[in-house]
Amino acid sequence: MKGKSWIEETFFRRECIKFIPSSWDQHRCIPVCQVCQSLIRCCCGRLMGEHFWQESCPPTSLYPSPGHGMEEEWSMEAHTRASPTDAYGIVDFQDTATRVCRAKYVRVGMDSKPEALLQLMLREWQMERPKLLLTVHGGSENFILPPKVKQAFSKGLITAAISTGAWILTDGINTGVSKYVGEAVKLFGGHNLRKRNTIGITPWGMIDNNMDLIGRDVFRPYQPLGNPLSKRACLNGFHSHFLLVDDGTLGKPGGQQGLRRKLEKHIQLLKIHPRLNQGVPALCVVVEGGPAIVSTVLDYVSNVPPVPVFVFEGSGKAADLIAFLHKQTANDRQLDADIKEDFLGRIGDVFGVEGTEAAHLYTLLQQCMDYRHSITIFDSESDEQMATDAAILSSVLKGTKASPSEQLSMALAWDRADVAQKDILVYGRHWQVGSLEQAMLDSLVMDRVSFVKLLIDNGMTMSRFLTVNRLEELYNSPQGQTRRFLQHLVEDAKQTSLPIGYRLSLIDMGLVIEYLIGGAYRSTYTRKNFRAAYSRMLGKDSRCDSSGSFSKQRQKMSLNNGQQDLHFFRTAQPYKSKDQTVSTRTSHQVGLSPGLGGALQPCPFNFNDLFVWAVLQQRQQMALFLWQHGEEALARAIVGCKLYRSMAFEVRQSNMDDIIAERFKAYSIEFGQLAVEVLDCAFQQNEQMAMKLLTSEMETLLTDLWTGPLNMRKNSFLKIILSLLLPPAILLLEFKSKAEMCHVPQSHETMLFGLESAKSPPVPEGSNQMDSLDAERGLPFYNETLCCASETVSTVFVQCLSWITKLYDFYTAPVVKFWFHTMSYLGFLMLFSYVILVKMEDRPSVKEWLVIAYIISTAIEKTREVLMSEPRKLRQKLKIWFSEYWNISDFVAILLFLAGLSMRLHGDPYRTAGRTAYCLDIIFWFIRVLDLLAVNQHAGPYITMITKMTTNMFFIVVMMAIVLLSFGVSRKSILSPDQEPSWSLARDVVFQPYWMIFGEVYAGEIDRRWIIRKCSSYD
């Protein structure tokens, strides 16, 4: 349904259809004379000629009809009719030359439903949902505010509204307190219409020049300059929206108050934020005001739940009376007799009422003091008074009787951490279990950086807060375009389409991180041990029945898998004895169980996990804040730079908005600059430590992993090759000590199944435990002969065990494995080359059988790689395995060799075809040498550059092919007009122009005389 038709079908205007004279002592002519029509007004405020008489005729007499008394009262329900509204659209105020001031408006009936009005503002007018409702009441006539009060009111009101996303409700006219609100918007408000949520709820009959606004979905210019003698008022030009309430009257104020109060109550039923269950809080702001304001304040504070009232002392009239009584009754509820008498006289003087009315107003004021906790008096003249906006928000928190958790939710929705720090997170306040954790989760989802900082400063720890469920909830938080982009990344990483409503898991995020970073990086979330622990945790969560058995199972799982999330384990402590190491490791494993309520996790989470989440969620400010916490600032800055750069590339590849790609690029540059600044700062402090920070850690890690137990610095490859050719030379090599090995990164298998038992010499069978103790602790005495014999046997045994350990350490070192593989591979190439160069016999020779065995064993190894890879499904295993170029090359080489072998075992002509397959297959095996050369520090960079350059030259080759084809087709069609259809046409079109690039290759075909000239030149 279109917007205008919905408005016309939902909202109505009111028209008076019966003339009831407001006074009976005027002319009573029969029939009604012209003077009566010009002087006597109806109770609705209109003259007889201003009524609409479509359904009835004008009255011929002003006397009451027979059967009707003189006291017939006019009412909207009985004497008006409803018809579709005829005034809505946009009003353009003409006298605001400094800025464009336009507002949306609609004429509605006084009996309109508040839910329809709210739907109009949220859906049709596209207003932002309110997080706070500030309803301003005060004098409707013009009055003068003291400069300090005016400054505090203007700045405080608008600052509180803008900072919290509040709606401001006023009468919308250009007089009284509404005019001051408009001036505040002019001075401190923004130019964006959607940010200026200042709503005027104005009686239609009180608007001057209201006929200029008649029209359906129109754009109307409005001149807010009314008649000074008129009782009606103009609209204020600095309001953003107007609800023009029509009760069928003209020139009578106050008809909008009932609808305004209903709308306020309905707005309070809205949620302050989709994630929070707290409703929208409201605050009544009182500035000056007449006697009606006292009843209004009493209605607000006595409501359930109460609406706090914020009174500006010094603004005059009702506001000053409330402030005076509030201060006088702070200790004693009853005033002294003399003070009460003076106060009653003051009420009479301020409002101009008699003693009875003054006593009634005093009673209302006393009733307001029964709810004094909901009334806040703001004295702008006081030097000890806080900022006005902070005082307004503090009065909302204190006056609503909300719990601390609800108050924290309100401050969180407003994004006012200063208010939360001052009034909520105070010393001595007790919090329910899990309330602060929920506040931290809401802060992260709502991107409230200041609140995250505040909660961390108040003792929130990430190791306790972050769990699998919470981290997954953060990744699955609805963020519109951000979530869709993240789902696209998951689809690209998994190479599959996600169903509707798919919930992202940490394993999916691990795949995305690996996909974006690329290379050999492996995320913690995708490792086998994490997958297994994650699956077991989810399985136990779903089928746990009793908390006791569940806790035992989770504790056992954590102890078995707490350390398995690390691919390499590196100690940070000096060498310790075995018993100390065991105790330390056990205590560390027990400590790896963060979570709420003892819920153990597959691995400990920290700021790094939140930092990656913030980057993937495109929350730059949150990512910058989290980058400042935790360790490894340089590494995290580089990771953020790489992730953003890859995300920008994905955006361009997906043909998304270029603005998004540029934003990602800017974020990437920002983190890159941070990394440079960290290095620059470290370099200024200590040059050696800066170099160590940049290269030492990674180089040491890779070197230690590469060499393993070997301790070699110069000519290491010569020593290894010599030791492989002459195994006794192994005993001459230098190995690392046991203390040095404690600081060497250990592989995952070594960490789990250590070789301590294998490397430690066993105790002889003939000795007990006490025999191995020191003599000073009470060793039994043995005779000298037995001791000497035992020492000789022990020395020989230890020496033999040392040789065995050296052999094991040598052959298990990664660098030795690499050179052994390289030498064997070169030997295989030599044998394969010999096989295809010499004459092939009917039966395979011994050398050919060795080649066959090598290639078949390679095929078995490649099959094992596929089956032992991370993914569970075979399809995913194959996708990941085939994603690397060298695996594709090996696959083709093995298949081609097996095909050649099957043909080679048969007679001619299959044997010849098999030999040809051998000859083609060796090309792939020779190219495989480039992979081995990539390890070399000199040849590796060149291979990498050539690979990237070949990829970048693809489009250049395509452009060259287009030029060649265009020239080749034209050339061939001109030179051979009578050519018969054949495949040679395609060959000549492509090959001949290509070879002509390199010189006069086909000059003889083009010009026969060229051959003669060439031959004569040789003669």
CA 365 centroid distance within chain: 50
Helices 885-904 and 910-927, packing angle to 10 deg:
160
Instruction: Please report the pLDDT score of residue 104 as a whole number.
Output: 93
d(CA 977, CA 984): 14
In a shared domain, residues 512 and 554: yes
Instruction: Please report the pLDDT score of residue 336 as a whole number.
Output: 83
Give the number of residues written for the chain. Answer: 1019
Residue 702 lies in a domain: no
Instruction: Please report the pLDDT score of residue 792 as a whole number.
Output: 63
For residue 249, give the nearest of 409, 13, 568, 481 by alpha carbon.
13
- Tell me if 263 sits within 8 A of 129, measured CB to CB: no
Give 453-493 pLDDT, tens digit per residue. Answer: 999 888 888 878 888 889 999 999 877 788 888 989 998 88
pLDDT band at 791 (very low <50, low <70, confident <90, very high): low
Residue 774 lies in a domain: no
* Strand ranges across the sheet with 241-246: 215-222, 87-93, 102-109, 241-246, 198-203, 166-170, 132-138, 282-287, 309-313, 375-379
Give 940-973 pLDDT, tens digit per residue. Answer: 788 888 877 877 788 888 888 898 899 889 988 8
pLDDT band at 355 (very low <50, low <70, confident <90, very high): confident
In a shared domain, residues 117 and 177: yes
d(CA 267, CA 29): 52
pLDDT band at 106 (very low <50, low <70, confident <90, very high): very high
Look at residue 397 and tell me whether its pLDDT is greater than 80.
yes
Residue 265 lies in a domain: yes
When mean pLDDT is compared across 380-384, 626-630, 841-845, 916-920, the lowest value belongs to 380-384
- Tell me if 89 sits within 8 A of 220, measured CB to CB: yes
Token pair of 996 as six digits = 């002509």
In a shared domain, residues 111 and 13: no
In a shared domain, residues 545 and 559: yes
In Å, how far are 328, 622, 809, 840 from 904, measured between CA atoms? 113, 66, 43, 9
- Tell me if 580 sits within 8 A of 551, measured CB to CB: no
Give 107-121 pLDDT, tens digit per residue. Answer: 999 889 999 999 999
| 374-386: average pLDDT | 87
Residue 865 lies in a domain: yes
d(CA 1018, CA 807): 70
Q: Which helix (H) or strand (E) holds 811?
A: helix 784-812
Q: Which residue has the higher pLDDT, 142 or 33?
A: 142
Strand 276-279 relative to strand 271-273, pairing: antiparallel
d(CA 602, CA 469): 12
Instruction: Please report the pLDDT score of residue 380 as a whole number.
Output: 86
| 418-425: average pLDDT | 89
Q: Which residue has the higher pLDDT, 775 or 713?
A: 713
Q: 919 Cβ partners below 8 Å, 6+ apart?
A: 836
Instruction: Please report the pLDDT score of residue 558 as a whole number.
Output: 40
In a shared domain, residues 618 and 630: yes
- Tell me if 922 sits within 8 A of 893, measured CB to CB: no
Instruction: Please report the pLDDT score of residue 262 as a whole number.
Output: 93
Residue 807 lies in a domain: no
When mean pLDDT is compared across 71-85, 824-838, 842-856, the lowest value belongs to 71-85
In a shared domain, residues 140 and 182: yes
Look at residue 555 and tell me whether its pLDDT is greater than 50.
no
In a shared domain, residues 249 and 386: yes
In a shared domain, residues 293 and 433: no
Give me the residues paired with residue 215 across strands. Answer: 87
Look at residue 545 and tell me whether its pLDDT is greater than 70.
no
- On average, the pLDDT of the chain sits at 79
d(CA 644, CA 652): 12
* Residue found by looking up tokens 């719990």 in the block: 403
Give 572-585 pLDDT, tens digit per residue. Answer: 334 444 444 434 33
Look at residue 342 and tell me whether its pLDDT is greater than 50.
yes
In a shared domain, residues 455 and 474: no
d(CA 994, CA 1007): 19
Give me the residues paired with residue 378 across strands. Answer: 312
Token pair of 1010 as six digits = 């060229």
Give the range with max mean pLDDT: 28-37, 257-266, 801-810, 992-1001. 257-266
For residue 855, give the nearest of 901, 806, 911 by alpha carbon.
901
Look at residue 273 and tell me whether its pLDDT is greater than 60.
yes
| 836-859: average pLDDT | 90
- Tell me if 208 sits within 8 A of 230, measured CB to CB: yes
Instruction: Please report the pLDDT score of residue 211 as a whole number.
Output: 87
d(CA 286, CA 320): 10
Q: What percent of the chain has pLDDT over 90?
A: 32
Write the CATH number for 892: 1.20.120
| 229-251: average pLDDT | 86
Q: What are phi and psi of 272, to 5 degrees?
A: -70, -25
- Tell me if 745 sits within 8 A of 704, measured CB to CB: yes
pLDDT band at 191 (very low <50, low <70, confident <90, very high): low
d(CA 170, CA 242): 10
CA 342 centroid distance within chain: 61
d(CA 709, CA 741): 7
Of the three residues 928, 950, 972, the one that is the final residue of a domain is 950
Q: What are phi and psi of 376, to 5 degrees?
A: -115, 130
Instruction: Please report the pLDDT score of residue 533 as a whole number.
Output: 85
Strand 309-313 relative to strand 282-287, pairing: parallel
Looking at residue 639, its amino acid is V
Q: Which residue has the higher pLDDT, 541 or 253?
A: 253
Contacts 24+ apart (CB under 8 A), 324-328: 325/365, 325/366, 325/368, 325/369, 326/369, 326/372, 326/375, 326/377, 327/377
In Å, how far are 628, 886, 900 from 828, measured between CA atoms? 54, 18, 17
Q: What percent of the chain has pLDDT over 70?
A: 75
d(CA 107, CA 287): 27
CA-based angle 574:580:586, to the nearest 5? 110
| 337-350: average pLDDT | 90
d(CA 179, CA 873): 70
Look at residue 1008 and tell me whether its pLDDT is greater than 90.
no
Q: How many distinct helices (H) and strands (E) make up the chain?
A: 45, 14
Look at residue 1002 and tell me whether its pLDDT is greater than 70.
no
In Å, how far are 4, 474, 564 from 592, measured between CA atoms? 62, 22, 11
Look at residue 587 and tell me whether its pLDDT is greater than 90.
no
Residue 777 lies in a domain: no
Of the three residues 29, 60, 82, the one that is the final residue of a domain is 82
Token pair of 93 as six digits = 């105020």
Instruction: Please report the pLDDT score of residue 808 as a whole number.
Output: 73
Looking at residue 35, its amino acid is V
Token pair of 397 as six digits = 């928190």
d(CA 610, CA 984): 63
In Å, how far are 696, 708, 745, 749 from 700, measured between CA atoms? 6, 11, 10, 21
In a shared domain, residues 624 and 507: yes
Give the range with max mean pLDDT: 362-371, 435-444, 727-736, 766-775. 362-371
Instruction: Please report the pLDDT score of residue 706 as a whole number.
Output: 65
* Residue found by looking up tokens 């009932």 in the block: 258
SS3 324: helix
d(CA 561, CA 537): 11
Q: Which helix (H) or strand (E) holds 215?
A: strand 215-222
Look at residue 302 and tell me whether its pLDDT is greater than 60.
yes
Instruction: Please report the pLDDT score of residue 597 as a whole number.
Output: 40
pLDDT band at 855 (very low <50, low <70, confident <90, very high): very high
When mean pLDDT is compared across 20-24, 26-30, 797-801, the lowest value belongs to 26-30
d(CA 247, CA 253): 10
Give 706-750 pLDDT, tens digit per residue. Answer: 666 666 665 566 777 777 777 777 766 777 666 555 555 555 444
Look at residue 592 and tell me whether its pLDDT is greater than 60.
no
In a shared domain, residues 360 and 387: yes
Dmax (CA) of the chain: 153
For residue 620, give the nearest of 584, 569, 671 by alpha carbon.
671
In a shared domain, residues 405 and 554: no
SS3 383: coil
- Tell me if 347 sits within 8 A of 341, measured CB to CB: no
| Total tally of structural domains belonging to the chain | 6
d(CA 472, CA 504): 7
Residue 713 lies in a domain: no
| 420-441: average pLDDT | 82
CA-based angle 716:722:728, to the nearest 5? 115
When mean pLDDT is compared across 254-263, 711-720, 904-913, the lowest value belongs to 711-720
Burial (CB count <10 Å: 0-12, 13-18, 19+), residue 14: buried
Residue 600 lies in a domain: yes
Q: 270 Cβ partners below 8 Å, 6+ apart?
A: 118, 129, 130, 279, 280
**CB atoms closer than 10 angstroms to residue 429:** 8
Look at residue 406 and tell me whether its pLDDT is greater than 70.
yes
When mean pLDDT is compared across 372-376, 695-699, 794-798, 987-991, the lowest value belongs to 695-699
Range of the domain at 839: 816-950
Q: What are phi and psi of 136, to 5 degrees?
A: -100, 125
Q: Which residue has the higher pLDDT, 692 or 567?
A: 692
Token pair of 559 as six digits = 């102890």
Token pair of 891 as six digits = 């696959």
Of the three residues 55, 82, 109, the one that is the final residue of a domain is 82
Look at residue 315 and tell me whether its pLDDT is greater than 70.
yes
Question: Tell me, what DSSP letter sits at residue 692?
Answer: I
